[in-house]
Amino acid sequence: MTALERIIFVVLVLAVAGGGYWWWRSSQTPAPLPVAPAAAPAATPAPDDQAVQHPIEQAPVASGAEAPKPLPPLGESDAAATEALAGLFPQNKLPEFLVPKTLIRHIVATVDNLPRDKVSMNLWPIKPAGGIFMVANTPNGKVIAPDNSARYTPYVTWMESIDSHKLAVVYFRFYPLFQEAYKELGYPKGYFNDRLVTVIDHLLATPEVPGAIRLEQPKVLYEYADPVLKATSSGQQILLRMGNNNAQRVKAKLRELRKELTRQAPKQ
């Protein structure tokens, strides 16, 4: 799978998990995070003054091929973006959990927020998963219930089924609007594709926990008992909550995405 597929569908899968994450933590002010030497490294702050590292270059239009239509203004791009995405699916139908309003801006903001401590549910490009966060009691205390990961598995499976090449073409075509949305976010000299690669590297550094993840409940809501896991970012915690198997599958897609994002002059 390639560029837009990961930008949208990896982000979408993380957003589904993020609904539970928000329910878990948003109603209390988190305590200062402990410093743990073994914690996964934090993502580098978004650069705004360095040379472009991973440029997206538009491939030339083949001789005789119809030139692509001009892109709409960013503020009027929802119809064109959702139409282009819908054309990749059976019956030209997008999933019901996609929120098509302000789609490109929300995708860019979500990507930028994943390495941070907090995320805004108002910016997620999809509706959160149904159900509640599931906890199990063990002799060693409370843990995330094994069945909790099943809430996210269908979304991961669906993500893996998308035609990567066709979706990459859509991403390359709409990239100027992604870049414009990133500048609007407060990075007038930044480059969105570089930020995306940095965020992917950050997510790939998420600790892997094959067994049950222990929890503690200092107030009303749950937190990770392990200080290393507690010190992770919002995006990394979402991967942890999805379960180790789902997280490994998402990471595999992220690695493939990174290869696509770091290729210059991608062929359409």
* Whether pTM exceeds 0.85: no
* Greatest alpha-carbon span in the chain: 69
Chain-wide mean pLDDT for the chain?
77
Per-residue pLDDT band at 243 (split at 50, 70, 90): very high
Nearest of 112, 114, 126, 130 to residue 82 by alpha carbon? 126
Could you tell me if residue 10 is inside a domain? Answer: yes
Range of the domain at 251: 3-58+70-261
Could you tell me if residue 180 is inside a domain? Answer: yes
In the chain, how many domains are there?
1
Report the pLDDT averaged over residues 121-134.
Answer: 73
The secondary structure of 103-124 as a DSSP string is HHHHHHHHHHHTTSS---GGG-
Could you tell me if residue 266 is inside a domain? Answer: no
Report the pLDDT averaged over residues 65-87.
Answer: 87
Could you tell me if residue 203 is inside a domain? Answer: yes
Contact 178, 104 (CB under 8 A): yes
Could you tell me if residue 96 is inside a domain? Answer: yes
Sign of the C-alpha dihedral computed for residues 17, 165, 191 and 83 taken in this order: negative
